[in-house]
Amino acid sequence: MKKENKNYHMSADEFRKQGHAMVDWIAEYWSRVEEMPVLSQAEPNELFNALPNSAPEQSEDFTKIMQDVEKHIMPGITHWQSPNFFAYFPTGASGPSILGEMMSAGLGVQGMLWSTSPACTELEMKMMDWLVHLLGLPEHYLLENAGGGTLQDSASSACLVALLSAREKISNLSLNKLGGNTVSDKKLVAYISTQTHSSLEKAMMISGLVTQNLRKITVDTSYAMKVDRLKEQIAQDKADGYLPFFVCATIGTTSSNGMDNLIEIGEIAKTENLWMHVDAAMSVTAAVCPEFRDMHTGLDLADSYNFNPHKWLFTNFDCSALFVKDKSDIINSLSILPEYLKNAATESGAVIDYRDWQIPLGRRFRALKLWFTLRHYGVEGLRHHIREHIALAQEFASWVHASSDFEIVAPHPLNLVCFKHTAGDVVNEALVKKLNTSGDLYLTHTKLNGEYVIRLCVGQANTTREHVEKAWELIQASL
Amino acid sequence: MKKENKNYHMSADEFRKQGHAMVDWIAEYWSRVEEMPVLSQAEPNELFNALPNSAPEQSEDFTKIMQDVEKHIMPGITHWQSPNFFAYFPTGASGPSILGEMMSAGLGVQGMLWSTSPACTELEMKMMDWLVHLLGLPEHYLLENAGGGTLQDSASSACLVALLSAREKISNLSLNKLGGNTVSDKKLVAYISTQTHSSLEKAMMISGLVTQNLRKITVDTSYAMKVDRLKEQIAQDKADGYLPFFVCATIGTTSSNGMDNLIEIGEIAKTENLWMHVDAAMSVTAAVCPEFRDMHTGLDLADSYNFNPHKWLFTNFDCSALFVKDKSDIINSLSILPEYLKNAATESGAVIDYRDWQIPLGRRFRALKLWFTLRHYGVEGLRHHIREHIALAQEFASWVHASSDFEIVAPHPLNLVCFKHTAGDVVNEALVKKLNTSGDLYLTHTKLNGEYVIRLCVGQANTTREHVEKAWELIQASL
């Protein structure tokens, strides 16, 4: 006699019904997002206090949940998908990418080992090779060569992995595996510029290399690392008994899109036996277009390289690409193999187990969304939109340039323009606050040379000339 | 004159069409997954070699992409959602959870700061409180008290964050922020058992605390840490000039569901001023049911605690819950605030910026899927299915127990049964290989006391008595 199975799972029919409704909800959201205040106007704890303190005892109807989404969640959303979002950096999202996320969730596989879903590993391998060709990266990053690529959750994690690989490589004692002296006994020092992303400092904290062994090199007037200062600092550190081991160069700094000189830094790295990591989170997406590939000059000198398809390549967060010149460096620093993860494929050495290329053990099937996105747009489509964004930013810059009230404060080679009102910090800060509170657009700020400056970054999929024009009108009208 | 905008984005109509089709594809997949070979039978590089070497120049039709999914991706999938998946650990996926992933992708917000989407932060805060009540956790983990919870990508990352918090706390020198002596100069040592998850060893590698300063304490016959040995080892280390600072206790070890004694370990931790982390990745989901809450006895002594809703709580990976007794410990160890992330809400101190609770900067809106799942099932529904899984595992254990060919090799308080054929390693290894190659079910192994043993873990949403019965029949028939 078969026991009757009571079942609380969502039925297939109900999932189809609610799933179709969710797809429509997303399509509808994308069409109405332009009308919403970009920066959420919610007060602290507004949502937290509005929800019950505990999960419900009994199952609730999904339509009731969706009502609560409209009532409680939507007012607390800052609309990163709005075409009027010019803050921070774009967060790529697109129809094909969302479809990839859906399939990944539906399949629900774990990609920690090759054997736990070969397709999850191998599609990722293939996508990493595609990115090498798409951006014109050095061929040593192709998996058939010594190097290779992998998807991480974020540039922060990618930088940390690069730093750990460098630490392991410099340590002839193979310190993690065999014991021996500890890292800090060696007084390892790393080099970044004052404009390098904060994730490098965080990586130093996490790795125990400690931030006092991180040297922030000053920058020139274009916010690129002063290479002479780097040289001097290295000489000083060596004289003081430190061991220089790592330098991070940036293609497109977060604050102002500053471009470090990869050739000069790379040559120093080679001479001084430093690992060179290149952080290129947003900007190098432009290298999809051949006319913007100059920024990669010198990249062949780098040991590792990272950029984020989840920023400007129409692919949902999280999807951050990390490449290393030599696979064994990354694997040596992060591999560990307990009995319960052993399997024939791993032991044959014929496959990649990507868990050895990252901090966590588990991993999602991220390559699907990248595959869907690259195929949907085609190289041609990607180039079209990236060129359009850059042209819009350049046009915006020309308006600022022509204005007597505002001025450009940094080079703007791509899609980010830093500018300020000539009246000083107080006026600029008030202007940003007024604009963001209006809900009509969202901009963020940074400080350059100690001054408060406004950043306008063009990169949302649906931002067009009209949105940029309107932004400029609002900026002028909000003084 | 308005310029005509050529556009490669997927239109709203096309997204609706393909989105509906994708929902149906997922529903269909879930209904046919039972018929598929659980462990992929793909050969290394089968998929990699089948795909083109570069992204297409022109946009491709989405129906063509879906044909390639069937042809190339599906043969390379190991079906974690199959009711015949008894390997590793379950990966929760459910209708409501997938709907949450869809909405998260559609909204495409960044939760790094409160201000970058207040709802993303506050729904997560609320869900963490819900989990405290749902599992009957100590009240100091509620956000209104000194502690609090956050969602991480994985237990590996959660363990690393706990270790970093402990390292920062023990260091009165505030080593990351202010400089001073480095970690390893202090000879910090950490304690785990031989059965603790490998992520702790990896966290020691990453943090630069180095694995030779990790002590693996032996276990008793139930695979719980020998507390006397822990005490002795601490005394020895202190005599040798080391500084004990961290111990990890496990509720439900990966290999065999071994249960460490939290009270005894916690008392030692208190006396010796160690940070106690409790790793409870899968097993404590059972604490949703009051009758299984005994395993939490002593948890009030812990400084941090982690479990994964993405394993056995019907929530898609990634969704790993980390709780700390004192919020300031985690924030002190991971906070860093560059100018471009400053904003009024952060500076007011009235809000949580969850980027300070994790390794990466960026973060997804993970709380949505947990909210949808908890509301869809209700506490009642969750209890029903968890009780069912435990009962099935217990029934399976009774069959093994009654068999003359097989024997149980470890306590099996919940949903994981470790057993072996009496004929020894060679037979057991061959048996697992034969079963997995058949595609009828998927099991993994571990080693206990140096012997190869088979693990059967019940926790997939749709696993019923018939699947477990069939598994037992196949195990017996495949000798």
DSSP string computed for A207-261: TTS-GGGEEEE-B-TTS-B-HHHHHHHHHHHHHTT-EEEEEEEEBS-TTT--B--
Q: Is residue B193 part of a domain?
A: yes
Beta-carbon separation of B334 and A118 below 8 A: no
Q: Which two tokens stand for residue A57?
A: 């005892």
Pick the range with the lowest mean pLDDT from A9-18, A384-393, B170-179, B212-221. Answer: B170-179
- What is the C-alpha separation between B52 and B379, in angstroms, rounded? 48
CA distance B272 to chain A (A): 23
Identify the residue among A33, A39, A91, A99 best suited for mutation to test binding to B, counting B beta carbons within 10 A and taking the highest.
Answer: A99
CA distance B341 to chain A (A): 8
Name the residue in chain A with its Cα closest to that of B320: A362
CA distance B403 to chain A (A): 23
Q: Which two tokens stand for residue A105?
A: 């969730």
Beta-carbon separation of A375 and B55 below 8 A: yes
Q: Which residue has the higher pLDDT, B4 or B222?
A: B222
Beta-carbon separation of A46 and B102 below 8 A: no
Beta-carbon separation of B154 and A447 below 8 A: no
- What is the C-alpha separation between A214 and A159, in angstroms, rounded? 14
Q: Is residue B389 part of a domain?
A: no
The amino acid at residue A418 is: C
Q: Supply angle C-alpha A352, B255, B250, rounded to 5.
A: 110
The amino acid at residue A386 is: I
Q: pLDDT at position B107, please?
A: 97
- What is the C-alpha separation between A348 and A342, in angstroms, rounded? 11
Banded pLDDT at B344 (limits 50, 70, 90)? confident
A84: nearest Cα among A438, A356, A325, A451: A438
CA distance A40 to chain B (A): 7
Judged against a pLDDT cut of 70, whether residue B177 lies above it is answered with no
Q: Is residue B171 part of a domain?
A: yes
Residues of A in contact with B64 (CB under 8 A): 375
Identify the residue among A210, A255, A357 best suited for mutation to test binding to B, counting B beta carbons within 10 A and taking the highest.
Answer: A210
Cα→Cα distances B33→B29, B162, B323, B435, B457, Å? 6, 38, 35, 17, 18
Q: Is residue A103 part of a domain?
A: no
Q: Which two tokens stand for residue B357?
A: 């609770």
8-state DSSP, A112: S
Q: pLDDT at position A13, please?
A: 96
Q: pLDDT at position A181, please?
A: 44
Q: Is residue A286 part of a domain?
A: yes
Q: Is residue B351 part of a domain?
A: yes
Residues of A in contact with B115 (CB under 8 A): 39-40, 78
Residues of B in contact with A65 (CB under 8 A): 96, 371-372, 375-376
Beta-carbon separation of A12 and B20 below 8 A: no
- What is the C-alpha separation between A357 and A336, in angstroms, rounded? 11
pLDDT tens by residue, B56-88: 999 999 999 999 999 999 999 999 999 999 999
- Helix (H) / strand (E) element for A437: namely helix A425-438
Pick the range with the lowest mean pLDDT from A53-62, A340-349, B207-216, B418-427. Answer: A340-349
Beta-carbon separation of A154 and B360 below 8 A: yes
Residues A346 and A340: beta-carbon distance below 8 Å: no
How many structural domains is chain B composed of? 1
Beta-carbon separation of B9 and A182 below 8 A: no
Q: pLDDT at position A186, please?
A: 61
Q: Which residue has the higher pLDDT, A345 or B32?
A: B32
Residues of B in contact with A338 (CB under 8 A): 197-198, 254
Q: Is residue B456 part of a domain?
A: no
- What is the C-alpha separation between A442 and A103, in angstroms, rounded? 32
Pick from A125, A340, A464: CB nearest B5: A464
Identify the residue among A6, A47, A48, A425 best suited for mutation to test binding to B, counting B beta carbons within 10 A and taking the highest.
Answer: A48
The CATH number that applies at residue A137 is: 3.40.640.10
Pick the range with the lowest mean pLDDT from A27-31, A388-392, B33-37, B208-212. Answer: B208-212
> Domain limits at A214?
109-364
Beta-carbon separation of A80 and B339 below 8 A: no
Residues of B in contact with A94 (CB under 8 A): 9-10
E strand spans, B57-203:
148-152, 188-193
Q: pLDDT at position B458, please?
A: 98
Q: pLDDT at position A314, please?
A: 97
- Helix (H) / strand (E) element for B434: namely helix B425-438
Task: Name residues of chain A where pLDDT drops below 50.
Answer: 1-4, 173-183, 185
- What is the C-alpha separation between A434 and A240, in angstroms, rounded? 50
DSSP-based helix, strand, coil % in chain A, nearest 5: 50, 15, 35
- What is the C-alpha separation between A424 and A422, in angstroms, rounded? 6
B285: nearest Cα among B466, B89, B87, B86: B89
Q: Is residue B267 part of a domain?
A: yes
Banded pLDDT at B174 (limits 50, 70, 90)? very low
Q: Is the pTM for the entire model greater than 0.90?
A: yes
pLDDT tens by residue, A276-298: 999 998 999 999 999 999 999 99
Number of Cβ within 10 Å of residue A64's Cβ equals 10
Residues of A in contact with B105 (CB under 8 A): 26, 93, 97-98, 101-102, 316
Residues A248 and A191: beta-carbon distance below 8 Å: yes
The amino acid at residue A468 is: V
